[in-house]
Amino acid sequence: MANERISQLPSGAPAQLGDLIPIARAGANYSLTAQALLALATGSFTGSPSLLGNWEGANLTMNPSGQGVFAATTANLVEVFQVKLLYPFSFNTLTFVSASVSGSNLVGIGLYSAAGSLLVAWNNITVATNATKFANTPAGGATLINPGNYFWGYACSTTATVQTEGGLTNATSNETGMPWNQSAVRNGYATNKMSSGVMPSTLGTLTAGFPNSNFPCPCWVVEP
């Protein structure tokens, strides 16, 4: 590899757990993985507790005895809500438990940057069996997410009721009137839609308010 300044190298974001980082120690050179460095950070969830709920860092209330709804009033519409992650987190598997399904219709879930770019997606989840745990892994393996603001996005290929055990209840059906949706949209839906079970690479323009505002958002967890 030719000698290059670090500023000349292409971006490797987002960081991967197996990324090698050069270090100098006691006069010798070594390499460390990003995962090894992450383990030094106080409060990083790469060990135990190795679980992150999609309600963490959101202004939505988790209701474990309720149900969440994937489907919106328009098929493939991507609904989003913003979350703030306070610690680095490494995850691979996404899990939810179905409460109501509809044939062979598809669900998609994605984590997006604050600017609306897709970071990782769980695509083509077939929700055909009721009361079943759906555990899915994204293409590319484990992903390391650093502290910051992100959007969870989800969509369903049908307008029929597709539900999860546990739901995230928004404060009111009047999301457009809430203070968190004034200077920027934090709970709402995207212009770009899911296609054939695949989440869009970007969200596009966001509009405040859940078209499915009478229903809680679906509930899932991610873990290594």
> DSSP state, 67?
E
The confidence score (pLDDT) of residue 98 equals: 84
Say how far apart CA 173 and CA 122 lie, in whole Å: 28
The confidence score (pLDDT) of residue 165 equals: 87
Integer CA distances (angstroms), 212 to 66, 143, 185, in order? 15, 30, 16
The confidence score (pLDDT) of residue 47 equals: 41
**How much is the average pLDDT of 121-131?**
80
The confidence score (pLDDT) of residue 46 equals: 41
**Does pLDDT of 202 surpass 50?**
yes
Q: In whole numbers, what is the pLDDT of the chain averaged over residues?
A: 81
CB 180 within 8 Å of CB 59? yes
The confidence score (pLDDT) of residue 130 equals: 66
Q: Write the pLDDT tens digit of every residue in 7-44.
A: 777 877 777 767 788 877 777 888 877 766 665 544 44
The confidence score (pLDDT) of residue 220 equals: 93
Q: Write the pLDDT tens digit of every residue in 41-72.
A: 444 444 445 788 999 888 888 888 888 888 77
Reading phi first (left if > 0) and then psi (alpha if -120 to 50, else beta), residue 103 is in left
Q: Write the pLDDT tens digit of every residue in 148-181.
A: 999 999 999 988 778 888 888 765 566 777 777 7
Output 121 or 183, whichever has higher pLDDT.
Answer: 121
Output 113 or 176, whichever has higher pLDDT.
Answer: 113
The confidence score (pLDDT) of residue 148 equals: 92
The confidence score (pLDDT) of residue 127 equals: 79
Integer CA distances (angstroms), 46 to 93, 111, 210, in order? 13, 18, 32
The confidence score (pLDDT) of residue 69 equals: 85
The confidence score (pLDDT) of residue 172 equals: 57
Say how far apart CA 83 and CA 113 lie, in whole Å: 10
Closest C-alpha to 152, from 91, 104, 99: 91
Lowest mean pLDDT among 121-125, 129-133, 208-212: 129-133
The confidence score (pLDDT) of residue 45 equals: 43
